Structure 1
Amino acid sequence: MLDSLQALPQALRDAAYDNTAAVRDSAAQLASFDARSDALLARAEGQIDQRYGQAERQVFDFFPGRADAPTLLFIHGGYWQMRHKNSFRFVAEGALALGLNAALLGYTLAPQASLTQIVAQVRQGIAAVRAHALAQGRSGELLLCGWSAGGHLTALGLACEGVRAGLGISGIYDLAPLQHTYLNTALQLTSTEVRTLSPLYLPLVDKPFITAFGTAELPQLQAQSLALSLLRQGCEGGLLAVDGGDHFSILNALAAPDGVLLQRLVAFI
């Protein structure tokens, strides 16, 4: 299915990855994310916009939980060219309710940064969050998770020191199809980036990785997750289909303390 996209007319190629258009109430859901994130920030003690690099978006938020607990570190999506970590602070609700520390990572967006630079920033940010936790006498263990483009970045950050397990939510694991869609206008993916930054083409990292998607998502998004889960067959983590979840509502299964995504991830503590 991933290979067949190039044969389609341009409009259909673009529609195959246009999650905002595919989800009828996507604007309302995104507005709700912002409101819920503002509410969390108002009531939770957080260390906001901690800098890990010189670029404007090279900052992270850290919300303390128990000192001996791991940190749930979330990487936002937006096809590497949209969104902001601040809109997704609400995903920390469930982790904090369970006593975990929680963090959210920002990074420079395309076209201001290439995907190669974005991946380097995220790996730098993962190390910075771990160092921040350790400097406060907290556990250096990370539960890494990300949504959409953040799922891709999570897969590429799995090998980082301190990462215990990863969760990719509705992720992109083969970049090749994106070269033939509207998304490549900002990304300008090179053949080298497709080969070296697509998790489907890289050696497996021997750590648990949960590949999750919503059953109401676009077929191409589902196919991306299915392809990675097939590659990782026999590895820890496995495939998790969230019944009825669309590309946006699926995040509720991470934000709730009893959400299926959060519960599957914390099982690796």
Structure 2
Amino acid sequence: MLDPLLDLPQGARDAAYDNTKAVANSAQQLADFEVRSAALAAHPQALLDLPYGPLPRQLLDYWTGDASAPTMLFIHGGYWQMRHKNTFRFVAKGALQHGVHAALIGYTLAPQACLTQIVHEVEQGIAAVRQQALAAGGSGRILLCGWSAGGHLTAMGLACDGVVAGLGLSGIYELEPVRHTFLNHALQLTEAEVAQLSPLRLPVADKPLMLAYGTAELVQLQAQSLALAQHRRAAPGTCLAVQGADHFSILNALADPQGVALQALLALGGR
């Protein structure tokens, strides 16, 4: 379902990946995320905007959980060119209620950074969160998760030291279709980057990875997760269809203490 997209007119290609237009109340959902995230920012265990590198967006947030517990590390989306980690702090709520440490990382956005640099920054961020976890009394075991572009970055970061399991929510795992949409104006993906940074083209990391998507999402977004699940069929993890969820509301399945995505990630990580 990914390759035939390239035969469509430009408008159809763009619409196939335009989540904002596809979800009529996306602005309201994002505004709700901001309100809920402000509450998490006021949490007594919150350590906010700790630098992990020299660039303005190389910042991490950290909430301390129980002694020796793992850390859920979330990577935000926005097609590598939009959004900010602060909007998504609310996703930490469920993990914290389970006693799990929680963290978010930011990264430089396109066009200020190419995707190769973004992946490198995320790898730096994962290492910094692991150090923070160990300093905070955590186990240093990272449950890596991300949404949309963050799902892609989760798949790319799965092999990093300390990562024991991953969860990709509505991720992008083959970049070639993206290269032929409006999204590439900022990204300027090269053929080399498509080959080197598409998880569907890379060797499979032998760590558990759950691939979640909403049943109310764009067809191409669902197809991306299903394709990577097939690519990883011999590795631990599977697909999770979140019933009725769109590209934005699927995040509630991670933020809710009993959410199906959070439960799946905790189970993969042995929590």
AA aligned to 1:76 is H
Q: CA RMSD in A?
A: 0.7
Can you list the C-alpha shifts for 1:90-129, whole angstroms capped at 9, x where unaligned? 0000000000000001000000000000000000100010
Whole-angstrom CA distance in 2 between matches of 1:76 and 1:235: 25
Whole-angstrom CA distance in 2 between matches of 1:246 and 1:137: 36
Q: Contact 2:64/2:136 (CA < 8 Å) preserved in 1?
A: no
In the alignment, is residue 108 of structure 1 matched against residue 108 of structure 2?
A: yes
Identity %: 67
1:63 is matched with: 63
Whole-angstrom CA distance in 1 between matches of 2:64 and 2:96: 8
In the alignment, is residue 77 of structure 1 matched against residue 97 of structure 2?
A: no
1:53 is matched with: 53
Whole-angstrom CA distance in 2 between matches of 1:159 and 1:67: 25
Can you list the C-alpha shifts for 1:170-225, whole angstroms capped at 9, x where unaligned? 00000000111000000000000000000000000000000110000000000100
In the alignment, is residue 241 of structure 1 matched against residue 226 of structure 2?
A: no
Whole-angstrom CA distance in 1 between matches of 2:44 and 2:96: 9
Whole-angstrom CA distance in 2 between matches of 1:42 and 1:141: 25
- List alignment gaps of at least 5 residues for structure 2: none
Whole-angstrom CA distance in 2 between matches of 1:263 and 1:178: 31
Whole-angstrom CA distance in 2 between matches of 1:101 and 1:219: 34
1:21 is matched with: 21
Task: Kindly report which structure 2 residues correspond to 1:93-132, keeping only aligned pairs within 5 A, or say none.
Answer: 93-132=93-132
Whole-angstrom CA distance in 1 between matches of 2:137 and 2:44: 20
Whole-angstrom CA distance in 1 between matches of 2:95 and 2:179: 36
Q: Cα distance, 1:138 vs. partner?
A: 2.1
Report which stretch shifted further, 136-145 or 94-103. 136-145
Query: Alignment partner of 1:21: what SS?
Result: helix
2:171 is matched with: 171
Aligned pair count reads: 269
Report which stretch shifted further, 57-66 or 44-53. 44-53
Whole-angstrom CA distance in 2 between matches of 1:209 and 1:196: 19
Query: Alignment partner of 1:181: what SS?
Result: coil
Q: Contact 2:63/2:103 (CA < 8 Å) preserved in 1?
A: yes
Q: Cα distance, 1:137 vs. partner?
A: 3.0
Whole-angstrom CA distance in 1 between matches of 2:49 and 2:176: 33
Q: Cα distance, 1:36 vs. partner?
A: 0.4
1:183 is matched with: 183
Q: Cα distance, 1:236 vs. partner?
A: 1.1
1:254 is matched with: 254
Q: Are residues 137 and 246 of structure 1, via their aligned partners in 2, closer, same or farther at CA, if it must alter by over 3 Å? A: same
Query: Alignment partner of 1:103: what SS?
Result: strand
Query: Alignment partner of 1:227: what SS?
Result: helix
Q: Cα distance, 1:158 vs. partner?
A: 0.2
Normalising by structure 2, we get a TM-score of 0.98
Q: Cα distance, 1:68 vs. partner?
A: 1.1
1:30 is matched with: 30
Normalising by structure 1, we get a TM-score of 0.99
AA aligned to 1:29 is Q
Structure 1 residue runs of 4 or more that deviate by more than 4 Å after TM superposition = none
